[in-house]
Amino acid sequence: MKLAYVDAFSGVSGDMFLASLLDAGVPLEEMQAMLDQLRLPERVQVRVEETRKGALRAALVTVDAPESHHHRHLSDIQAMITASGLPDAVQDASLKVFQVLAEAEARVHGTSVEHVHFHEVGALDSIADVVGAAIGLHLLGIERLYASALPYGSGQVMTEHGALPLPAPATLEILSRAHVPLTPSPAHFEQVTPTGAALLAALATFERPDMLLERIGVGAGRKDFAWPNVLRLWLGRSPADQDFPMVVLETNIDDMNPQLYGMVMAKLFEAGARDVFFTPIYMKKNRPATMLSIIARRSEEAALARIVMEQTSTLGLRVQPVYRLEAEREFHQVDTSYGAVPVKVKILDGRKFHAQPEFDACARIAQEHNVPVAEVYTAALLAGRSLLI
């Protein structure tokens, strides 16, 4: 499982997060091409350059947009995103961030989400920051995002509403709603912007994960502090990937038409599931139900979970890491009176134990010869004994 940890010791903003993703290996050309799918009123161009913050190098991002301020409603931004050709995961993450922003702005200004006017975060450069961050996480294949505690200082920031205290009201509302851990800072500047706060509140878990560290991306802020004003993005994998390379996904379903289960199983196998099976169970109120179980590689967890969420009525899944003890196997063909039949040979400690005919092939051959499938299967089973000598 690919993980990312946002080390926001100096705060977080949309452009700092975007810069850290690009510095971590997201190809700028691919990000730009995907941003162009938004079909914004004017083209937004992302530029990245290397800079220094104190003694540290970092990537600095500039988003060139033709407008600096434009008031938009949440519905305007949602329409831009949903009308794009961006992948579903990118759209979902972007919409989630803007929903968090809208709910915070509505609370702060005493209005409804539908009537919120986005000011700074409704500008094209801020839209590019949010969607660009979602694109970057998608291109890196990040499956879980984590974040550190965020610093908070004091002072004021100038906005379209005039001077406001720090943390800015919308930022503070976002942090409060997500129960974000905070740590005091001596800074008298804005360290956590509303966009930066919403990105982490919507997409990250505020804890430090166990991680096999692979690389780091460093994004620069525009202000200079007494310390390097950078955001560090740590990329790695879960240590469990080594010991538990497989997962079991399970969910209990009691309100779905059973005719649909066959299609669900077919789609899961097409997407790479190693095994899919259904178990009759009883749930609360003695209600008959079905437990759907999937065994898969960790790398396929996200794709398979999405299929289950889309194709069934369930609202969630249980995921457990597991490992498998597997015998070696060889594939052969044996000659029978009905022709060649494929068999699978099991091997333990170098010894061949069992030769199992492939049933689908037996069924096809039986149909061709108009004989019972058991006859073809038995013939192949007997012929397979020669492989065990």
Q: Which domains does the chain carry?
A: 2-237 (no CATH), 244-322 (3.30.70.1380), 328-388 (3.10.20.300)
pLDDT for residue 9: 96
pLDDT for residue 67: 63
The residue type of 374 is: A
pLDDT for residue 282: 94
Q: CA triplet 249, 329, 301: central angle to 5 degrees?
A: 20
pLDDT for residue 52: 95
Backbone angles phi, psi at 279, to 5 degrees: -125, 125
pLDDT for residue 113: 85
190 and 12 in contact (C-beta within 8 Å)? Answer: no
pLDDT for residue 70: 61
pLDDT for residue 42: 80
Show the tokens assigned to 338: 């009905």
pLDDT for residue 43: 85
Q: How far is CA 17 from the centre of its chain?
A: 17
Looking only at the bridges linking them, the beta strands covering 162-165 and 144-147 are unpaired
Can the peptide bond before residue 186 be classed as cis, meaning omega within 30 degrees of 0? Answer: no
pLDDT for residue 119: 60
Provide the CB-side half-sphere exposure for 115 (13 A, CA): 7
**Max intra-chain CA distance, the chain:** 90
Q: In what order do the strands lie in the sheet with 144-147?
A: 45-53, 56-64, 212-220, 230-237, 2-7, 144-147
Rounded average pLDDT per 10-residue block, the chain, 389 residues: 93 96 95 91 90 95 75 86 92 95 89 75 81 96 94 82 84 95 92 95 94 94 93 89 81 94 95 95 91 92 93 94 84 93 90 92 95 96 89
